[in-house]
Each structure stands twice: as C-alpha cells, then as structure tokens.
Amino acid sequence: MKIRYLSLSAAVVALSFVGTISTAKSEAIAKNSVDNNVGNNFSVKTLEIAPNQPLLLAQSNAEELLQQCVKRYQSKEYERALSSCTKAIEADGDNDDAYLIRGSINFFLGDSKTGIQDINRALAINPDSEQGYYIRALVRAITGDVKGATEDSNRFLVLNNYSVDGYSIRAMVMLLIDDYKQAIENASQAIQKNPENANGYIMRSFAYLLSGNDKQASEDIEKIIKIGSEPGAYFFRSIIRVQRGDNKGAMEDLNQAINQKFDEASVYAQRANVRVQMGDMKGAIEDLNMAIKKDKDVGYFRNNLGFIYGRAGDMKKAFENYEKSLSNYQKSNIFKGFQSPLSKIFEKSAIKISPFFWEVRDSQDALGYLNRGMSRALLLGNKQEGIADLQVAANLFREQGKQDEAKKVIEMIKQINS
C-alpha cells in the first residue's frame, strides 16, 4: 500500500513549537515512518512464485519479523524493535523497508550516524524509494544538513510526480531547515493543485506563524477549519489565539479539538498552559497529568508540572517531577547534545506564549532559574546556558537556607553533564 506521507498528527509532532518542538525532530521520522500502521507506510513485498523456496521462506520470515518490529516500536520497546529489524535484515538483506524502519528507530534513539547508514543502504537497494528520500530528507533537515535535505526533498518531489503530497512534504522539510520562503512557496503549490487538501494549509500556516505573519497564518487555519477534515485545526488556532492574548478563545478551541477526538498529549499540555495563564492551577495539573498518561516519555510535561507545584509551594512534588523529567530525557538519547534548527525560534515563541513556564520573576527567584535551566539544558539542548541557570538556582537555594533543594540541583547538574 502507498505510504501515507503526511498526517495531521505527524505535522503536530513535527512542527508545533508550543511544547512540541523538542519532540519534533526526535519523533518526526518515527511517527511518519513507523507509527501509523505499517500497511499505511511501508509496502509489504509480494512474494513471487519462484523455484528458490529457501529464499521465499527467508523473505516470509523477514516480513513477519518486520511486523514484529513495528509492533514493538508502537509499544515503545525500542531495543526489542531494533532486534526484530536486525533479524529481518539477516533473513532478507535486500529488504529496503527493514533498513528504513531500523534507520528511523536508530535516529529516534539518538544514533543518527547508524540511522543514516541504514537509510542509505535502503536507498542503495531501491534507488527509486519515495519513502527513503522522504525519511532521509527529514533526518538531514533535523541534523542540520541543509544541502542534503534540500537535495532529497527535490528528489522526493520528482519521484512523487510533483503531487500535492510531494509539495506538502517539501514544505515540511523547508520548515525544518528554517527556509520559510520556500516552505510558503511549496505549500502554495500544494494548495494550488488541490484547494481542499488541508496539508498545504497546515504547512503554510506554520511557515507564516514562524516567520511572524500571524494574520496570514490565521487565515490559513480558518480555511482548514472550513474544510472540516482536520479537527487538529482547532489546536493550531489555539496557538494563534494564545499569542494574541485570547485565552478564552484558545480554551474553546482546545476543548473543541478534544471533543472531536484530537486528544493528543500535546493538546492537553497546551490547555494546561492556557489554564495557568487563566489562574486555574488545579486544572493545569490535571491536564499535564493527562498529557503524561498519554505519553509518559515526554520530559517537558514533567518539567512544567514541577514548576507548577513549585509555584504552589509544594517543593517535594516539584523536585519529584523535575527528577522524573531528567530521567525521561536520559532514557531518550536523542536529547543528548540535541541542537534543533528551530530552537531559537522555539525559545522566543515559548517566552511569548508560555511566560509562566519560562518566568524568572526576579534575581532571587530560585525556582524560576531552576525551571529555565532545565528547559534550556534538556528541551533546547543548550547545556551551557542551562547549567549556568541551574548553578544560580543552587546558589539561591543555599543562600535561602534550603540546603536540600540546593543539593538536588547540584545532582541534576551532574546528571546533565554525565
């Protein structure tokens, strides 16, 4: 079956900068290449009748192992998923799908070098693999290889016969390398080819949003809502409304998205942000816990929850969540040394959209420095600035006579450095 190159959920993971940019680059590959049912993403090769029965048996075993790999990935058993993919490759060394999936998982786990090698191998086996160029374009964009990402997205567009999907995906790649002009041009081409296809509007709205053109972004999002095919459009509109200070409207949009079954973890995290700004701390805690329930491996949910508890005066729960946040990041190797091409934009946007989560109230605000330090070190991959903030937090806690808190912050610094 033909790969489904772009879905709204993938776009949210890959591009939303309100609490999801950190997972953008780490999950975009895995989401698009593995997560949405293998039949929609990787074609399972038909075994042709041939006299070579051992070869047929090996290919059959490879497909079974490949299915096992996907199931294990979906259950977040990443190491076991890798093992299944490797066994599939051992059973059939010419199975390009197995290399693509293994490469995607390796990248997700932070081993971009091995991931690229697997994807290169898949393309050597099948030089006309649309999926291969698509995934490698994303990997290269995410790892900062602008030239390679551009070349691969061009090749993908040609192989995809300059289709709506082709232009939408190329717009996505251009967004990831911060080329908003090209992103807008490619998204506009997709819209021109099919004015009722939401993907082009999604990509173009992000490009407008990230380049500071809120008016055009809002118009595109209204178009998505009018088309009615994507309940996630309400999530996107909530981003615009928060930026404009319309928290009530943003809350209505987020409720609508959830009511329409677009109840992903990022939606609850965004609603928690809005509730904080509206003074509803209890509701914010409930939403963050729901986000954690839906995706327990996203560290910044815990980071933000820790900050809320800290502001509420419960430092015990605050540090419990900060420590769990750090543990989550350590389990996902992708965050070690992670440098996002969009991190500066994310930081500016986060400060603008989520002042509570980034707030340092004054020079004596130990909790503020703790939160900003954790966010910079883990979310943005900026260890140097993050550790500097954490050191300030430790010193302030110590001056305030909070020796236990100071010790915990020092331990966090050591773990980030390890």
CATH code of the domain containing 10: 1.25.40.10
18 in a domain, yes or no? yes
Q: Which residue has the tokens 């972004």?
A: 217
Would you say residue 114 lies in a domain?
Answer: yes
Residue 80 lies in a domain: yes
Low-confidence ranges of the chain (pLDDT < 70): 1-60, 330-358
Entry field: residues in the chain = 418
Q: What are phi and psi of 92, to 5 degrees?
A: -145, 95
The sign of the torsion formed by the CA atoms of 319, 280, 289, 73 equals negative
CB distance 326 to 378 below 8 Å: yes
Residue 46 lies in a domain: yes
User: Is 257 inside any structural domain?
Assistant: no
Q: Is residue 1 part of a domain?
A: yes
Domains in the chain, number: 1
Residue 144, Cβ density class (10 Å: 0-12 exposed, 13-18 middle, ≥19 buried): middle
**Is the residue at 418 inside a domain?**
no
Q: Assess if residue 49 is contained within a domain.
A: yes
How confident is the model over 88-139, as pLDDT tens digits? 888 888 888 889 888 888 887 778 889 899 999 999 999 998 888 988 888 8
Query: Alpha-carbon distance 340 to 14, whole Å?
Result: 12
| pTM, two decimal places | 0.69
Domain span at residue 112 reads 1-160
